[in-house]
Amino acid sequence: MKLKFYLPLLLLGICTLDSVAQSQLLKEIPEIITMDKLLAKHPSWQFSEEAVIKTLEERVSQASRQAQQAEQDYWWSSYHYTTEKPIKDFPGLIQGNYAELYPEVPFLQNQQQISLYLAAKANREIAKTLKYRNDYREQFQAAIPRMKQTQRHFTHEPEQDMSWLADQISEDTQYLLLGERHYIIEIKNNITRLMSEIRQRQPQRPIFLLTEFLDAGVQWQPGDSVSSPEYLPIWQAAYEQGMTVLGLEHDIDISKEWVGVWATREGVRLRNRQWLQTIKEMRNKNPDALFIIYTGAGHIMYHEPYSLGKFLAGPQTYVATFYPDKGRDLNKRITYNTSYFDILSEGQHFPLERIISFDDREISQLVGFDAQFRVPVELWKTYKNEEDRWKIHEE
């Protein structure tokens, strides 16, 4: 990743340069510069702590204004997609050991600078994401006739869905990416059943289940305590099928000020980058294994910026997403549980079949998945907080 700085901000004092050097700098570099190249060219330059903090504070505010303008410019994307709100003020120090969060940014020296940099990056990504979604919508709409021509149709019962999915995973498949809409019990029940279906078809193959819902470095064993007990049936089913269950989620600050940042595009990018590094290390050690990667849907879809699906895309990768077939309107605009596909197709171009899949690899790449499941639910089951985790809420 290239870190770009606007020249006017750079010359406000990030570098300890005299006026002659600044004048020469103006002649040497364009309006937008790449900081890592600049450092390579001038390794003796020093960055004062106060100058970095001052500049980053300005960047938080500047990027916040850009994000708010983008919400107006790309109103459709803002209306239908984003739950991210620009960070207008410094939210406080992020807690945890984040010294290696941005190894490509050598001038970040302490928690305050890292916190400001993350806030500024998160704000800038909001503007970029809104524009991307606006452009992506146009591509999607243009491809709808081709989608209609290549859409598959299914007649089997819901109880056979996981058997059908397992049939799609061949011995050559390296990555099965499973993405859920969080908090839906019926989706977890499907994932639990899938473990035995996969094993029946590949009885001798090493299989690893790598998941967002366990901490990085954890290899789950029966009896282990976990922070999200609703996933225990899945871990138990995988373990009983001889699969190795491993965590992907690195330590993140879930305080009130920062918990939402990890769901922003920048937060997701950082987390996905860490997960991908773990996946690559495991792949080097287990070249013939099937990796089942189980996360939230936004982490794996082919078309999502910085997604695992985008990085791992290829003929040996299969992406399946899971949403409930009904949900609760949380924001009075769209149903929270509605998939991106349903939003973009505006609920009228395709029959509401339980499985959406296409006989066209390019279309699958465009829509973000090889198969999307609308899991039948009778109740919208959620956990509003830890104390309320197992209560059921009817619409």
pLDDT along the chain (395 residues), means of 10: 42 46 45 48 66 82 87 72 64 76 81 87 87 90 92 93 98 97 90 98 98 95 90 97 96 73 86 96 97 96 94 96 71 53 72 88 96 81 40 36
- Name the pairing type of β-strands 32-34 and 290-296: unpaired
**What phi and psi values does residue 313 have, to the nearest 5 degrees?**
-60, 140
For position 347, what pLDDT does the model report? Answer: 59
Q: How far apart, in whole angstroms, are the C-alpha atoms of residue 348 and residue 346?
A: 6
For position 282, what pLDDT does the model report? Answer: 97
For position 341, what pLDDT does the model report? Answer: 85
For position 330, what pLDDT does the model report? Answer: 40
* CATH 3.40.50 residue ranges for the chain: 151-249+289-393
List the structure tokens of 303: 């078309």
* Pick from 199, 198, 218, 221: nearest CA to 210: 218
183: left (phi over 0), alpha (psi -120 to 50) or beta: left
For position 21, what pLDDT does the model report? Answer: 52
Fold of 151-249+289-393: Rossmann fold (3.40.50)
pTM: 0.84
DSSP summary character for residue 219: B
For the chain, what is the radius of gyration of the CA atoms? 23
